[in-house]
Chain A
Amino acid sequence: MAKTSRFDSTNRTLISLARLNRPGGKRLYWTVVTIVVAAACIIFLGPLYWMVTGGLKTSLEYAQNPPTLIPKHPSLTNYSDAWTDLDLGRLILNTAFYAFGALAFQIVLDVTAAFAFSKLKPSSPGSSSPRCSPP
C-alpha cells in the first residue's frame, strides 16, 4: 500500500496498521466492518424504511400480521391524502416562516451582542471587564 501515510505512527488509532495488515488481522477487520455496517443498516435505516414503505401501503396491509416487507400495491395516495386533509403545505409554510423568522432575529441580536462582548467591551467606569454575560 502506497498511501499508508494517513495511518502512520502519528495518525494511527487504537490498532496499528501493521497489525491490521497481517492476514488474520485483515480477515477479522473485514468481518467486523461487514457485521457493523449490516447491523447499523438494520438498526438505523430499518425503521426509516418501515416508515416510508408504511406510507405506501393500504391501512389494511399496514395493520396486517405478519407485516409485509415490500408493499404489495405501492401507491402514493396516503401521501397525497395527508397533504390535502391535513393542509400540510400550510403547516410546512408555517414551520419555515417560524424557522427563518427566528433565524433572522437570532442573527441580528446574537451578532450585535457578540460584537459588543468581544470588541466593544462596554464597562461601567469602575469595573475592568463586563460581568453580565447571559447564560
Chain B
Amino acid sequence: MAATTMNPTVAKPGGAQQRASRSGGLRRRFFDNVTGWLFLLGATVCFAFFSWYPMVREFIMSFQRTRRGVTTWVGWDNYVRMWNDPSFGQAWRNTLEFTVLALLLAYVLPFFVAILFNEFRHAQGFLRVLVYLPVMLPPASALYLFAYAYFPDNSGIFNYVLHSLHLPTSQWVQSPSMTIPSLVLASTWINIGGSVLIYLAALQNIPGELYEAAELDGAGLFRRIWTVTIPQTRLILSLMFMLQVVATMQLFIEPVILANGDGVEGSAESVVYLMYQHAFNFNDLNGGAALGVMLLVVLAGFSGLYAWLGPNKTKKETRPPWRKRRVSTPPTGP
C-alpha cells in the first residue's frame, strides 16, 4: 500500500519536520508526511473501528432507550434506573470487597514471595516456572478446577483436606459470606505468577551496595526491606497497584464460572456481571451501557488520580494543589 511512496530519504532518521525545513519545499514536506500518515492508517482504522467507535457508541447509547425498535433520547434516565436497580449497591460492594481483598492477597503477597525467591541461590528457576504455570492455564479451565475443589460437604478437595486435618470446613461459594474470599483465592492462584515475575525483575535491579551499606549501618532484616527494597521498587509497586485495581474492578469471569454469575443471594454479583445481565439477559442494552460508563468514569478517575499523584514525575508536578507549596528561599549570599 504505502510501499510505493517509500524512498531512500524517508528511512533516514530525523523526522519529517526536520527534513522539510532542511530541504524546504512544500511538495516534499507534503509527501514525507503522507508516507507517515499512510503507515499509521492501518492501526488508526483498527483503533477507530474496534476501540474508539464502540466507546463513543456506548456513551451515546447510555442516553438513549430502545423499545420495540424505536430509539428515543431519554437523558439521564438510564443512569437513574441503574442507580435504583436492587442489585446496584450489592454489585458495587462486592466488587470493592473483591478489589480490597485482592490487593491484600494478589498484590502484597507476591511481593514477599518475590523477596523470598530472590534470596534463593538454588531452585530459583524451577520455582519461577512453577509459579507461572497457572498463568499459562486458560483461566476458564483453572476456574473449573476450583469449582470442583470448592464442592461443599467433603466431596471437594479443599473440604476433604480440611476435614482430614480436623479443621473447620467451609461452604465456599455456597455460603454468601465466603463467596468473595473464595473468588479472590482462585483469582490469586491464577494471577500470582505474573506479579511474582515482575517483582523479581524489579528486585534484581537493586544494587547490592545499598544492602551492604544498610547492613553496615546496623539495619536489621525488616529495616532493610523497609528502607532499601521498598523504596527501590517504588515505581513498579505503584504501577502494579494501579494495574491491579483496574483489573480487579472488572471482575467477571470468576463469578460467572464459580458462582453461577450472581452467587447465592447475589453474593457474587459484580458490576460487570450486572452490566452483562442488563445487556444480554434483560434485553436492556441501554442500561448496560449506562452502567459501563459509570464503571469507566470510576476507573478513569482512579487512573487520573494515579497519574496526578503518582511517583513517576518530578517533585514540582506531584504536589497536589491542596498541599501548600513550600516556598524555597534561595540562599541570599552577600
Which residues from chain A sit less than 8 Å from chain B, CB to CB? 7-16, 20, 32-33, 36-37, 40-41, 43-45, 47-48, 50-51, 63, 65-67, 105, 108-110, 112-113, 115-117, 119-125, 128, 132, 134-135
Measured between beta carbons, the chain A residues less than 8 angstroms from B42 are: 108-109, 112-113
Given A121-B17, A134-B47, the answer on whether A65 and B39 have CB atoms closer than 8 Å is no
Contact of B212 among A16, A20, A113 (CB under 8 A): A16
Q: A40 contacts which chain B residues (CB < 8 A)? A: 127, 130-131
Q: Is the CB of A123 within 8 A of B17?
A: yes
Q: Which residues of A contact B229 (CB under 8 A)?
A: 14
- CB of B155 within 8 A of CB of A120, answer no
Of listed A44, A50, A63, A124, residue having the most chain B CB within 10 A: A44
Interface centre among B13, B17, B127 (most CB of A within 10 A): B17
Are the C-beta atoms of B211 and A44 separated by less than 8 Å? no
Residues of B within 8 A of A (CB): 2, 10-11, 13, 15-17, 29, 32-37, 39-40, 42-44, 46-47, 51, 115-123, 126-127, 130-131, 133-134, 137, 141-142, 145, 149, 154-155, 157, 160, 189, 203, 206-209, 211-212, 215, 221, 224-225, 229
Q: What is the minimal beta-carbon distance from B10 to any residue of chain A, in angstroms?
A: 7
B157 touching A135, Cβ below 8 Å = no
Q: Is B36's CB under 8 angstroms from A112's CB?
A: no
The answer to whether A13 and B118 touch across the interface, beta carbons within 8 angstroms, is yes
A-B CB contacts (within 8 Å), total count = 132
Bound-complex Cα distance A43 to B146 (A): 12
Tell me the complex Cα distance, A103–B115, Å: 35
Report whether B39 and A116 are in contact in the complex, using a CB–CB cutoff of 8 Å. yes
Select from chain B the residue with minimum beta-carbon distance to A30. B122
Which listed residue, B29, B37, B209, touches A10 by the CB 8 Å rule? B209
B39 touches A135 (CB 8 A): no
For chain A, what secondary structure do more than half of its interface residues adopt (helix, strand, loop), or is it mixed?
helix
Could you tell me if A121 and B36 are in contact, using CB atoms closer than 8 angstroms? yes
Give the distance to chain A from B52, nearest Cβ to Cβ, in Å: 9
**Interface pair A113/B211, CB less than 8 Å apart:** no
| List of B residues within 8 angstroms of A11 by Cβ | 208
Identify 6 new A-B residue pairs, CB closer than 8 A, beyond the known A13-B206, A14-B229, A124-B33: A11-B208, A12-B208, A40-B130, A45-B133, A115-B39, A119-B11
Q: Are A51 and B145 in contact (CB under 8 A)?
A: yes
Q: Closest Cβ of chain B: how far from A57's Cβ, in Å? A: 13
CA distance A48 to B47 in the complex (A): 38
Contacts of B142 in A (CB 8 A): 47
8 A-B contact pairs sorted by A residue (CB < 8 Å):
A7-B121, A10-B208, A13-B206, A33-B122, A45-B133, A65-B160, A115-B39, A122-B32
Beta-carbon contact of A14 and B36 below 8 Å: no
The distance from the CB of A119 to the nearest CB of chain B, in whole angstroms, is: 6
Evaluate contact between B37 and A122: CB separation under 8 angstroms.
yes
> Please, which residue of chain A has its CB at the minimum distance from the CB of B33?
A122
Determine if B15 and A14 form an interchain contact, defined as CB atoms under 8 angstroms apart.
no
Question: With the chains together, A66 CA to B160 CA distance in Å?
Answer: 7
- On chain A, the residues within 8 Å of B15 by CB distance are 119-121, 123
CB distance from B49 to the nearest CB of A (A): 12
Chain B residue with the shortest CB-CB distance to A116: B39
CB A107 to nearest CB in B, in angstroms, measures 11
A12 touches B13 (CB 8 A): no
Known A40-B130, A112-B40; contact A120-B211, beta-carbon cutoff 8 A: no
Q: How far is the CB of A60 from chain B (nearest CB, A)?
A: 14
A109-B149 contact in complex given A48-B133, A120-B15, A120-B16, C-beta closer than 8 Å: no
- B34: chain A residues within 8 A (beta carbon): 122
